Structure 1
Amino acid sequence: MSSIDGAPQVGTSTIADGSQPTTGLPVPRRFWAALSIWSAIFLTIMDVSIANVALPFISKGLAITAAKSVWAINAYQIAIVMALLPMAKAAEILGYKKVYLGGLLLFMLAAFGSINASSLAVLASSRFVQGIGAAAVMVVSGALVRTIYPPALVPRGIGYNTIAVSIASAAGPAVGAFVLSIAGWHAIFAVGLPFGLLALALGFWAIPLTGSQKKPFDYRSALLCCAGFAAIFLFLNDLAQDSVSRWTLLSIGVAIPAIWFLGKRTTANQDSMVPLDLLKLDSLRTAYAMSATAYAVMMLITLSFPFILQQRFHFKPETIGLFMVPLPLGIVIAAFVSGRLVSRYPSAWLCASGLIVLTGGAIWLSLLQPGVSALLIVAAAAICGIGFGIFQVPNNHSMIAIAPHARAGAASAMLSLSRLIGQTLGAIVAALLFRRFGAQSDAPIIAAALIALAVASATLLRKDLSRSAMVE
Structure 2
Amino acid sequence: MNLQRTQTDPAPPAPRHAAVLAALAAAQFTVMLATSIVNVALPQIRTGVGLSDGGTTWVVNAYGLTFGALLLAGGRAADLLGRRRVLIGGLSLFAVASLAAGLAASSTVLVAARAAQGLGAAAIAPAALAVTMDLFPSGPARGRALGVWGAVSGAGGAGGVLLGGVLTQAWGWPWIFHSVAFGTVLVIVAVAAVVPRAAGREAGKFDLLGTVVVTLALTCLVWGLTTARGSGWTDARVLGSLLGAAALLVAFVAVELRRPNALVPPRLFTAGRVAAGNLLMALLGSVWIALFFFLPLYQQQVLGMGPLATGVGQLPLAAANMLGAAAAPRVSRRVGDTVTVTSALLATAVGLLWLSRITADGSYLGHVLGPSILIGLGLSSAFVQLTALAVDGVPRQDAGLAGGLVNTTRQVGGAIGLAALATLAGSVTAHAATHQPHLEALTAGYRAAFTVSAAILAATALLAPLLTRCGGRPRTATTTSTKGPASEPQTAGIS
Q: TM-score range by the shorter chain?
A: 0.7 to 0.9
Compared CA separation, residues 254 and 463, structure 1 to 2 (3 A): closer
Whether 1:384 aligns to 2:375 is: yes
User: Which stretch shows the higher mean deviation, 232-241 or 58-67?
Assistant: 58-67
Compared CA separation, residues 233 and 449, structure 1 to 2 (3 A): closer
Q: 1:456 aligns with which of 453, 461, 464?
A: 461
Alpha-carbon distance between aligned partners in 1 of 2:112 and 2:296, rounded to the nearest angstrom: 31
Q: CA deviation at 1:102?
A: 1.0
Q: CA deviation at 1:221?
A: 2.1
Amino acid at match of 1:212: R
User: Which stretch shows the higher mean deviation, 250-259 or 184-193?
Assistant: 250-259
Compared CA separation, residues 25 and 276, structure 1 to 2 (3 A): farther
Alpha-carbon distance between aligned partners in 1 of 2:155 and 2:102, rounded to the nearest angstrom: 24
Tell me what 1:189 maps to: 177
Tell me what 2:253 maps to: 263
Amino acid at match of 1:459: A
Q: CA deviation at 1:353?
A: 1.5
Amino acid at match of 1:203: V
Amino acid at match of 1:329: A
Tell me what 2:48 maps to: 61
Q: 2:386 aligns with which of 372, 377, 395?
A: 395
Aligned 8 A contact 2:344 2:377 in 1 = yes
Tell me what 1:414 maps to: 405
Aligned 8 A contact 2:226 2:419 in 1 = yes
Alpha-carbon distance between aligned partners in 1 of 2:55 and 2:370, rounded to the nearest angstrom: 37
Whether 1:290 aligns to 2:290 is: no
Compared CA separation, residues 390 and 213, structure 1 to 2 (3 A): closer
Alpha-carbon distance between aligned partners in 1 of 2:393 and 2:322, rounded to the nearest angstrom: 24
Whether 1:156 aligns to 2:144 is: yes
Alpha-carbon distance between aligned partners in 2 of 1:174 and 1:191, rounded to the nearest angstrom: 13
Amino acid at match of 2:155: I
Tell me what 1:28 maps to: 15
| TM-score after normalising by structure 1 | 0.83
Compared CA separation, residues 270 and 153, structure 1 to 2 (3 A): farther
Q: 1:440 aligns with which of 437, 440, 443?
A: 443
Alpha-carbon distance between aligned partners in 1 of 2:453 and 2:103, rounded to the nearest angstrom: 40
Aligned-residue Cα RMSD (Å) equals 3.4
Q: 1:110 aligns with which of 60, 82, 97?
A: 97
User: Which stretch shows the higher mean deviation, 178-187 or 379-388?
Assistant: 178-187
Tell me what 1:325 maps to: 315
Compared CA separation, residues 460 and 127, structure 1 to 2 (3 A): closer
Tell me what 2:218 maps to: 229
Amino acid at match of 2:421: A
User: Which stretch shows the higher mean deviation, 335-344 or 88-97?
Assistant: 335-344
Q: 1:353 aligns with which of 316, 338, 343?
A: 343
Q: Please give the per-residue CA displacement for 1:376-396, whole angstroms capped at 9, x wherever unaligned.
A: 742332112112222221221
Amino acid at match of 1:440: T
Q: Please give the per-residue CA displacement for 1:55-95, whole angstroms capped at 9, x wherever unaligned.
A: 33333333443433544333322321231111122111112
Q: Please give the per-residue CA displacement for 1:27-58, whole angstroms capped at 9, x wherever unaligned.
A: 22212211211221232221232223333333
| TM-score after normalising by structure 2 | 0.79
Compared CA separation, residues 215 and 357, structure 1 to 2 (3 A): closer
Q: CA deviation at 1:454?
A: 3.1
Q: Please give the per-residue CA displacement for 1:389-435, whole angstroms capped at 9, x wherever unaligned.
A: 22221221111223222211111111111212332343244335422
Tell me what 2:208 maps to: 219
Q: Please give the per-residue CA displacement for 1:126-159, whole angstroms capped at 9, x wherever unaligned.
A: 3322221110001112222112234431111111
Q: Please give the per-residue CA displacement for 1:207-233, whole angstroms capped at 9, x wherever unaligned.
A: 122342333322222222222222222
Q: 1:203 aligns with which of 186, 191, 197?
A: 191
User: Which stretch shows the higher mean deviation, 244-253 or 448-457?
Assistant: 244-253
Compared CA separation, residues 30 and 183, structure 1 to 2 (3 A): same
Determine helix, strand or coil for the equivalent of 1:266: helix
Tell me what 1:336 maps to: 326
Alpha-carbon distance between aligned partners in 1 of 2:105 and 2:294, rounded to the nearest angstrom: 33
Compared CA separation, residues 286 and 57, structure 1 to 2 (3 A): same
Tell me what 2:228 maps to: 239
Q: CA deviation at 1:305?
A: 4.7
Alpha-carbon distance between aligned partners in 2 of 1:252 and 1:300, rounded to the nearest angstrom: 21
Aligned 8 A contact 1:25 1:148 in 2 = no
Amino acid at match of 2:129: G
Q: CA deviation at 1:368?
A: 6.5
Gaps spanning 5+ residues in structure 1: where?
1-10, 14-21
User: Which stretch shows the higher mean deviation, 206-215 or 268-277?
Assistant: 268-277
Alpha-carbon distance between aligned partners in 1 of 2:299 and 2:170, rounded to the nearest angstrom: 27
Q: CA deviation at 1:273?
A: 1.0
Q: Please give the per-residue CA displacement for 1:167-193, whole angstroms capped at 9, x wherever unaligned.
A: 222222222232233434333221023
Determine helix, strand or coil for the equivalent of 2:96: helix
Gaps spanning 5+ residues in structure 2: where?
1-5, 433-440, 475-495
User: Which stretch shows the higher mean deviation, 412-421 or 429-438?
Assistant: 429-438
User: Which stretch shows the higher mean deviation, 120-129 or 333-342?
Assistant: 120-129
Amino acid at match of 1:255: A
User: Which stretch shows the higher mean deviation, 340-349 or 90-99?
Assistant: 340-349
